[in-house]
Amino acid sequence: MSTKTERIIGAEAVVRALLEEGADLAYGYPGGAIMPIYDELYKYQDKLQHVLTRHEQGAIHAAQGFARVSGKVGVCLATSGPGATNLVTGIADAQIDSTPLVCITGQVASHLLGTDAFQETDVISISAPVTKWNIQVTKSQDIPAAIAKAFYIAKSGRPGPVLIDITKDAQLGELDYAYEKCTGVRSYKPIPETNIEKVKEAATLINAAKKPFIVFGQGVILGEAEAELKALIEKSGIPSAWTVLGLSALPTDHPLNVGMVGMHGHYGPNKLTNECDLLIAIGMRFDDRVTGTLDTYAKQAKVIHFDIDPAEIDKNVKTDVAVIGNAKDTLAKIVPFINDAKHEAWHNEFKEYRKIEDEAVIIPQLEPTKEGLTMGEVINQVNKETNGDAVIVSDVGQHQMFTVRYADFTTTRSNVTSGGLGTMGFALPAAIGAKMGAPEREVVAYIGDGGYQMTCQELGTILQTGAAVKIVVLNNEFLGMVRQWQQLFFDKRYASTVMTNPDFIKLAEAYDIKATKVVKREDLAGAVKEMIASKESYFLEVMIEKEDNVFPMVPTGASVSDVRLS
Amino acid sequence: MEKQLYTISVYTENNPGLLNRIATIFLKRHINIESLNVSRSEIENVHRFTICAHMTEVAVKKLVGQIEKQIEVIKAYYHTDDEIIFHETALYKIASNLLFDKREIQNIIKNSHASIVTVNPEFFVIEKTGFRSETEALYDELAPYGIMQFVRTGRISVSKTEMKISEQLKNL
Ligand SMILES: Cc1ncc(C[n+]2csc(CCOP(=O)(O)OP(=O)(O)O)c2C)c(N)n1
């Protein structure tokens, strides 16, 4: 913290402030209204690496991938108008998935605001519903404080994206620069106080329960509460399931890990949601993809909800006891009140359902005997090569659901996917960001042939930066997930889901990326081995049986206990 | 659960973007804003939104939760009519000749406890403060004579119990 000031221009203040916040990496795309900041980035390039993506959407998804694996704030930059609007999908994605981001957009000079000037867009209004906070800065002097506040808000409490829109004159004008980190905003309480009585009430319910069931979400990861979660479940012996975004908070092979809940979750966890006597939700928000119809969701059970965000309590599911606070803190507080238990008979119910699911769904997916390749067997093959230690990025569609069902995880913050928004095109740029956020780790991205073509221009970013991501395109020549719904609910009318694809191998090779295509099962293991062994980026395309489906499935509007195996 | 009119009071920092953010929260849930008023509050630099809307109690609780989530919102409350003292003000612009030609108008004004704000050769302006039903009743009485312009403010209200904002601010 420096108290003496220096006379510099706003654009330099932006870069210096980013450095003060520990941001030495930013993703972005230049343009007229943000050129002064880019000029400073040029001067500071030995301290702050700027990654030029091929589209602003690529920049923000990369920043998201970076933030998700590193736990740091992702930073991205874009120019005014189309640059700013191209960020919007990623901002909405980060908002619904609680990813900390600071987005900086250039804006036309303040005297032009409201005149429909060239590339003027009211990005503050556009982004308001999908940002945790946003602000337009029109005076150079206000820049350092705005950036300090932005970082504080983005990462504190329930994280989220913030946007700072800086007019060109504010970037060019001089200010007396001094940087002071933000330590509080008087109208904002990031972590609400925990009521210890509620902790005790929750413990009493847990100790009395015969069939308790834990469902944990990303709140555990965001709150860095993995160890506390483990302590709770190991002491209480409670079977625990994850939401898509909670995945990797608990290792896949943990004996108390019973699988995933939700639309394509595991059979037992869905069925038994409607048989438990106590549902303990931790850092999750009862999304409709998790609950199915609320009318018949866990009605027999008492509900405990641990969350940092008071607005989540009773939003979708009425709770009996709400424990507000950071999961790291609230879980640590509850453990001493919990009795040791095993719940063996109850566990056996999960095991019985698991057997049924293994037979009907899992074994045929992972060790298929039919001719066509399955997505599950590809993922299984990668598991074998990585031992579950890789960061796994997935796009949106069938392959995403196969990925979250079948990818193995040993380490937290390793599952990067667009959960709440379901943004196709997310994975490739997010994988680039993830690799930069965890350079020492293997990063594998599973992407459908549809979603791949939404952001495959980011191969250019890989070419330019050398980011060693492993890209696996699971090609079923369909917009598979939509096709599955058409098959199940629209009498196989495959409206606009058939894909005529380009030669993906040539495309990868055009970007100087080693590429292999697998069509036959016998070539899979070797190709996966070569991909994982590669020190550089690698592109693997696997031709998948065209009309394979993801099961189990809770159809929209159905009850979780009506989960279908076929 | 039944819908009823709630008065939502929101104490905020002064940020021009907040009106937009708060309005979006209603819009997203298809809740019609019946009236909206923004003014200063009893605390320096703290603004106060007073918003009226019909909804269920479950809905208003969630809505207030979402409003409070906004970074620059200090605190939001919701009240039913019996928990607050509230008023609206209406202005009625009427042609001046009526004041002299139609004697009944003078009686209407007198009986309704409205006051005359201004009179000039062309028009005069009546102001009436009170409940919606009262400003509405006066409207109905004046309408047959011809109202040149009519306007009514949003509801403003104070709660019967304390809202403890200053204390909240100290704690934050
Ligand atoms: C940007 C965007 N547009 C549309 C959708 C709707 N959608 C969800 S899954 C899907 C199909 C994805 O197809 P593909 O990428 O080939 O993956 P697959 O399901 O075949 O694994 C579509 C179109 C979406 N999620 N995101």
- Whether A566 is in a domain gets the answer no
Q: pLDDT at position A59, please?
A: 98
Cross-chain Cβ contact B71/A315 below 8 Å: no
Integer distance in angstroms from the first to the last C-alpha of chain B? 34
pLDDT (tens digit, 9 = 90+) per residue, A62-88?
A: 999 999 999 999 999 999 999 999 999
Q: Among all chains, which residue has been given the structure tokens 């809202």?
A: B163
Predicted-complex ipTM score: 0.92
Cβ A377 vs Cβ A221: under 8 Å:
no
Res B166: pLDDT? 76
**pLDDT for the residue B102:** 82
Q: Which tokens hold the place of A212? A: 């308790």
Measure the CA–CA gap between A143 and A13, rounded to whole angstroms: 7
Mean pLDDT of chain A: 97
Residue ID of nearest Cα to ligand 1 atom 1 = A424
pLDDT, residue A211, reads 98
Does A257 score more than 90 pLDDT?
Answer: yes
Q: What is the pLDDT of residue A233?
A: 98
Same-domain pairing of A171 and A253: no
Q: Is the pLDDT of residue B167 over 90?
A: no
Residues of B within 8 A of A136 (CB-CB) are 17
Q: Is residue A365 part of a domain?
A: no
A186 CB neighbours in chain B (<8 A) are 13, 74, 169, 172
**A276: pLDDT strictly greater than 80:** yes
pLDDT(A157) > 60? yes
**Yes or no, beta carbons of A134 and B172 under 8 Å apart:** no
**Contact call for residues A76 and A59 (beta carbons, < 8 A):** yes
pLDDT at A94 exceeding the cut of 80: yes
* Residue A46 CB-density burial (10 A; 0-12 exposed, 13-18 middle, 19+ buried): exposed
State the Cα–Cα distance between residues A512 and A108, nearest whole angstrom: 38
Residue A425 Cα: closest atom of ligand 1: 1
State the smallest CA–CA distance between residue B161 and chain A in angstroms.
22
Q: Is residue A299 predicted with pLDDT exceeding 90?
A: yes
Higher-confidence residue of B148 and A2: namely B148
The CA distance from A121 to A405, in Å, is 41
Region B88-106: what's the mean pLDDT? Answer: 91
Residue A495 has pLDDT above 70, yes or no: yes
Cβ pair A189:B17 closer than 8 A: no
Verify whether residue A118 is a known catalytic residue: yes
Are residues A273 and A363 in contact, defined by beta-carbon separation less than 8 angstroms? no
Element (H, E) at A528: helix A524-533
CATH class assigned to B4-79 = alpha beta
Dump pLDDT digits (tens) for A199-236.
999 999 999 999 999 999 999 999 999 999 999 999 99
Q: What is the mean pLDDT of residues A293-311?
A: 98
Alpha-carbon A417 to chain mean position: 4
CATH of the domain at A84: 3.40.50.970
> Mean per-residue pLDDT for B46-70?
97
Token readout for A197 is: 């009585």
Residue A405's pLDDT is: 98
Q: Is residue A358 part of a domain?
A: no
Residue nearest to ligand 1 atom 13, measured at CA: A479
For residue A375, which atom of ligand 1 is closest to its CA?
21
pLDDT score of B100: 81
pLDDT (mean) for A515-522: 98
- pLDDT given at position B103: 85
A168 lies in the same domain as A228: no
Q: How far apart (Å, rounded) are the C-alpha atoms in residues A79 and A165?
A: 9
Closest Cα in chain A to B170: A186
In what helix (H) or strand (E) does residue B134 lie, and over which residues does it extend? helix B132-142
For residue A133, give the chain B residue with the closest CA. Answer: B71
Does position A2 have pLDDT exceeding 60, yes or no? no
Whether residue A564 is contained in a domain is answered as no
Do residues A173 and A204 both lie within one domain? Answer: no
Torsion of CA A382, A388, A390, A396, to 10 degrees: 70
CB A93 within 8 A of CB A426: yes
Contact A404, A260 (CB under 8 A): yes
In a domain, A20, yes or no: yes
Does residue A145 sit in the same domain as residue A115? yes
Structure tokens at B113: 């406890």
- What is the mean pLDDT of the segment spanning A147-164? 98
Residues B49-60 have pLDDT tens digits of: 999 999 999 999
Mutate to test the pocket of ligand 1, among A374, A375, A481 (most ligand atoms within 8 A of CB): A481
- For A38-55, what is each residue's pLDDT tens digit? 999 999 999 999 999 999
- How would residue B169 be classed by pLDDT, with cut points 50, 70 and 90? confident
Residues A295 and A385 in one domain: no
Average pLDDT over chain B reads 93
Residues A144, A283, single domain; the answer is: no
Please state the rounded mean pLDDT for residues B107-127: 94
Q: Tell me if A557 is assigned to some domain.
A: no
pLDDT in tens, A348-359: 999 999 999 999
For the domain that residue A200 is a member of, what is the CATH number? 3.40.50.1220
A497 and A396 both lie in a single domain: yes
Mutation choice for A interface testing from B22, B68, B69, B73 by most A CBs within 10 A: B69
**Integer Cα distance of A535 and A550 in angstroms:** 32
Q: Are A319 and A399 within one domain?
A: no
Alpha helices in B16-125 (DSSP H): 18-28, 57-69, 96-101, 103-111
Within 10 A of B54 (CB to CB), how many other CB atoms are there?
15
Tokens of A317: 């599911």
What does the buried/exposed string (b/e) look like for A468-502 if buried means 16 or more CB atoms within 10 Å of the residue's CB?
bbbbbbbbbbbbbbbbbbbbeeeeeeeeebebeee
> Checking phi first, is residue A413 left (phi over 0); if not, alpha (psi -120 to 50) or beta?
left
A391 lies in a domain? yes
- For chain A, the domain total comes to 3
Question: What is the SS3 assignment for A372?
Answer: coil
- Asked whether residue A314 carries a pLDDT value surpassing 90, the answer given is yes
B102 vs A431 pLDDT, higher one: A431
Question: What is the distance between the alpha carbons of residues B104 and A323, in angstroms, rounded to a whole number?
Answer: 64
Q: Which of A177, A212, A227 is the last residue before a domain boundary?
A: A177
The domains spanning B4-79 and B86-152 adopt the same CATH topology: yes
In the block, residue with structure tokens 């409670």: A238
With pLDDT > 90 as the criterion, what percentage of chain A qualifies? Answer: 99
Do the Cβ atoms of B66 and A134 come within 8 Å?
no
Q: Which of A289, A316, A294, A297 is nearest to A305 (CA)?
A: A316
- Cβ proximity of A215 and A282 under 8 Å: yes
Length in residues, chain B: 172
Q: How many CB atoms lie within 10 A of CB A389?
A: 14
Is residue A516 predicted with pLDDT exceeding 90? Answer: yes
Query: Tokens 């939404």 belong to which residue?
Result: A454
Query: In CATH, which superfamily holds the domain spanning B86-152?
Result: ACT-like. Chain A, domain 2 (3.30.70.1150)
Q: Residue A248 pLDDT > 70, yes or no? A: yes
For residue A311, which residues of chain B lie inside 8 Å, CB to CB?
Answer: 62, 65-66, 68-69
Find the helix or strand (DSSP H, E) in which A10 lies.
Answer: helix A10-20
Structural domain of residue A237, as residue ranges?
196-350
Q: Are residues A128 and A39 in the same domain?
A: yes
pLDDT at A3: 64
Q: Does residue A526 fall inside a structural domain?
A: yes
Per-domain boundaries in chain B: 4-79, 86-152
